[in-house]
Structure 1
Amino acid sequence: MDPRIEAHAELLVDHCTDVQPGDHVVVNAPAEAPDLETALYEKIGERGAIPIGLSMPARAMRAYAEAVDVDDIQMAEHALALVEETDVLIGVRASSNVSEMSGLDPEDMQAFAKVQKPIQDAQMECRWVGTQYPAAGNAQKAEMGTDEYADFVYDAIDKDWDAQREFQAQLVDILEDADEVHIVSGDETDVTMSVAGNVPVNDDADNNMPGGEVFTAPVPDSVEGTVKFDKPVMGLGREIQGASLEFEDGEVVHHDADQNADVLAGIIGTDEGAKRVGELGIGMNRDIDRFTYNMLFDEKMGDTVHLALGRAYERCIGEGNEQNESATHKDMIVDMSEDSYIEVDGEVVQRDGTFVFEDGFEE
């Protein structure tokens, strides 16, 4: 077995989820990731925890989605019961076909998302982590050879996470007592939002492996302006290109896309919370240096900002502030590498992708 897979499993059960003796652990891994699943079971066994495996093949899920009547879609009560008895949830992504869910009716997918929200809420109560195994389908979408993609994945994962945390802590300090964030990129992105009272989180790969961002939640009704997401985003197996949003009083009042605008409309139409921003994230993992159509990596890229429509993470919400609730959480990326800046309370803290605390920053 590739020693990098062993190291990956070790990080997942120690650094990310702190698996303890007697913990009930769910490992949700697809057939495309057998080596990592095996290594995880070994590490879980060494720690005296109790694993159970799940697999939800995308092809089988598509067959179900096409066969079921939308009026018969209900929450999986047995899945909720399992999650409620789970201490640790480890989710592994790997695909032989990243477009398996392409072409499904967005309204049907909204119905699935809505009924699954209680399960999502229960998962947030676990010690959880999501990660990527370098499968051939993901490599193909990233336009890399399989071995090249594996190197890319493990370069982003095999890091000094203590050092990464210290680097990111400098941005956390800036956002800690901030009121307003202003983001400008080119001629098409000019958006402001309040983060007053909310908590900036230093993502050193506890819930995501790889980590490498600082994120928080805007006050839901505070987002104003326009955003052009110049990186594609995948939705229902389809590629949304050139998504643009206009906000007033925190809600999307206009939306469009150069490609698959109907999928974007379906995401926004999931519920009322999907019209508002639940997360502001700023990428800081410099070992993720290219776009790969995989949000687990892409949102962590240095020189990027992402906004997520929908659910806000509870850990970001300050006392007395409102948490945006939704059955969806869809991240979308703005390239900040040129003709761009981030202001916090009127002070520029990043220009053209370089932070104020990095060499090369220009006022």
Structure 2
Amino acid sequence: MDARIEKLSRQLTEYACSLQAGEKVLIEYEGKETLPLVQQVIRDAYRLGAVPFVEEKAGRVLREILLGAKEEQLALQCEVELARMKEMDAYISIRGGDNIAELSDVPTEQLQLYDKMLQPVLDQRVNETKWVILRYPTPSMAQLAGKSLTAFEDFYFQVCNMDYWRMSLAMDALVELMNRTESVRMIGPGTDLSFSIAGIPAVKCDGKMNIPDGEVYTAPVRETVNGVITYNAASEMQGFVYENVRFEIEKGRIVHATANDTARINALLDADEGARYFGEFAIGVNPFVLEPMKDILFDEKICGSIHLTPGMAYEDADNGNRSAVHWDLVLIQRPEYGGGEIWFDDRLIRKDGLFVVEELLPLNPDRLMKEEGVIGIERALAGSKQKGSE
């Protein structure tokens, strides 16, 4: 067994989900490449006294189902999935699909219907279980990243097995600052946008829900977003890769949207009333994730990035927006992507992807990567033992 897989399994079972004896965990996976990790996660779940349940997913199978599915069929399917999710204490998703465009020819109305039917399952999983989601390195992912499979695997395990415990500590200052902040302004090429985050909690993502991880998120007060934003990272959604996405926003609502397929993006934003409002604002800080690869679990963590998300708000940073859509579109503000600034309450916080205020300097890549090497679970477990002995 590859030692990197064993370490990653511990990240998932011990650090991210903190599995305890007797807890039931649903392990969903896609792709045969994921099997070594799936097997190790099962072993570790048993070692910790947890009870694993496993289900295989396949994009090609889902495509065939959706092409002919009726509303009653999808409602029953999701009802069964919801009943099962209500029995689970934890959820681990290991995704290794070989084609990100597998659903690209499924009619938009079918995808929207499926998303609507699935929403209660997602709400149960997000709000009522300990959960973590990750991609697994495949040839298709390596191709999207422009790397050989070997080079991509090296990058992948470096990112996924990084010291999330260290990152978590450094994130605390940003959480505290965002919780004190009322107004946000973002400036950059094709972007001049302002909104309020007053009264909405900031939440750090430190390896407990996504692997890789590395963001702090909140949500804009729903009707306060005004201005224009131009995203510079391509983004896959429902099997289609969108590029050059530009939104004009008035009183929180996207009133004009363009992209490489303007008709398609507007159809997506017309899925429901909430899809044209924003449900999340987040700042990406992972020092090892630098370039977009059309995989949102990586791209939303890009060092020096933000994402401003049309659609559903999270329960723990809730601005009241409800939608079947939650689309994390990414804007990178490092110099090679055109630069940019973030201001909190008329104070410059980050310029060209680097934090410029003293309390946030530990989140810059030179500080996060210093002394990198001890994975978060080892620190976390050591901390727990020390705390328990006091």
Same fold (TM over 0.5): yes
1:71 shift after superposition: 7.3
Quote the residue 2:367 is aligned against: none
Aligned match for 1:213, one of 195, 215, 219: 215
1:251 shift after superposition: 1.0
Aligned match for 2:329, one of 323, 332, 337: 332
Mean alpha-carbon deviation: is it higher for 307-316 or for 62-71? 62-71
> 1:230, 1:5 → 2: CA distance?
33
> 1:73, 1:21 → 2: CA distance?
34
Quote the residue 2:320 is aligned against: 323
Quote the residue 1:195 is aligned against: 197
> 2:230, 2:315 → 1: CA distance?
27
Quote the residue 1:11 is aligned against: 11
Quote the residue 1:148 is aligned against: 151
Equivalent position SS for 1:342: strand
Pair 251,37 (structure 1): closer, same or farther in 2 beyond 3 Å? same
Whether 2:281 is the aligned partner of 1:276: answer: no
1:73 shift after superposition: 4.0
Task: Summarize the alignment of residues 235-250 of structure 1 with structure 2, pairs less than 5 Å apart.
Answer: 235-250=237-252
1:72 shift after superposition: 5.4
Quote the residue 1:21 is aligned against: 21
- Cα deviation, 1:309-333, whole Å, max 9, x if unaligned, reads 111111123xxxx421111210001
Q: CA RMSD in A?
A: 1.7
- Cα deviation, 1:182-207, whole Å, max 9, x if unaligned, reads 11111x11111110011111211111
> 1:161, 1:74 → 2: CA distance?
38
Equivalent position SS for 1:330: coil
Equivalent position SS for 2:306: strand
> 1:92, 1:265 → 2: CA distance?
31
In the alignment, is the contact (CA less than 8 A) between 1:110 and 1:266 conserved in 2? no
Equivalent position SS for 1:116: helix
1:337 shift after superposition: 1.0
In the alignment, is the contact (CA less than 8 A) between 2:31 and 2:98 conserved in 1? no
> 2:134, 2:275 → 1: CA distance?
25
In the alignment, is the contact (CA less than 8 A) between 1:101 and 1:237 conserved in 2? yes
Aligned match for 1:130, one of 126, 130, 133: 133
> 2:133, 2:262 → 1: CA distance?
28
Equivalent position SS for 1:92: strand
In the alignment, is the contact (CA less than 8 A) between 1:236 and 1:263 conserved in 2? no
Equivalent position SS for 1:174: helix
> 2:263, 2:122 → 1: CA distance?
25
Quote the residue 1:351 is aligned against: 351
In the alignment, is the contact (CA less than 8 A) between 1:240 and 1:263 conserved in 2? no
User: Which residue identity lines up with residue 38 of structure 1 in the other structure?
Assistant: Q
User: Which residue identity lines up with residue 2 of structure 2 in the other structure?
Assistant: D
Quote the residue 2:372 is aligned against: none
1:146 shift after superposition: 1.1
User: Which residue identity lines up with residue 113 of structure 1 in the other structure?
Assistant: D
- Cα deviation, 1:104-125, whole Å, max 9, x if unaligned, reads 2122211111111111111111
> 1:100, 1:108 → 2: CA distance?
14
Equivalent position SS for 2:11: helix
In the alignment, is the contact (CA less than 8 A) between 2:31 and 2:95 conserved in 1? no
- Cα deviation, 1:28-75, whole Å, max 9, x if unaligned, reads 111331011001000001011111111220000011111224675425
Whether 2:168 is the aligned partner of 1:174: answer: no
- Cα deviation, 1:254-307, whole Å, max 9, x if unaligned, reads 1110x2333322321221111111110111011112221111011111111111
Quote the residue 2:371 is aligned against: none
Quote the residue 2:296 is aligned against: 295
In the alignment, is the contact (CA less than 8 A) between 1:215 and 1:279 conserved in 2? yes
Quote the residue 1:232 is aligned against: 234
TM-score by length of 2: 0.87
Mean alpha-carbon deviation: is it higher for 196-205 or for 165-174? 165-174
User: Which residue identity lines up with residue 323 of structure 2 in the other structure?
Assistant: S
Quote the residue 2:118 is aligned against: 116
Equivalent position SS for 1:55: strand
The number of equivalent residue pairs is 355
Pair 216,34 (structure 1): closer, same or farther in 2 beyond 3 Å? same
User: Which residue identity lines up with residue 345 of structure 1 in the other structure?
Assistant: D
Whether 2:47 is the aligned partner of 1:46: answer: yes
> 1:272, 1:72 → 2: CA distance?
25
Q: What are structure 2's unaligned runs of at least 5 residues?
A: 365-390
- Percent identity of paired positions between Structure 1 and Structure 2: 28
User: Which residue identity lines up with residue 60 of structure 2 in the other structure?
Assistant: R
User: Which residue identity lines up with residue 194 of structure 1 in the other structure?
Assistant: S
TM-score by length of 1: 0.94
- Cα deviation, 1:74-119, whole Å, max 9, x if unaligned, reads 2521111001111001011112222211222122211111111111
Quote the residue 2:165 is aligned against: 162
> 2:73, 2:88 → 1: CA distance?
27
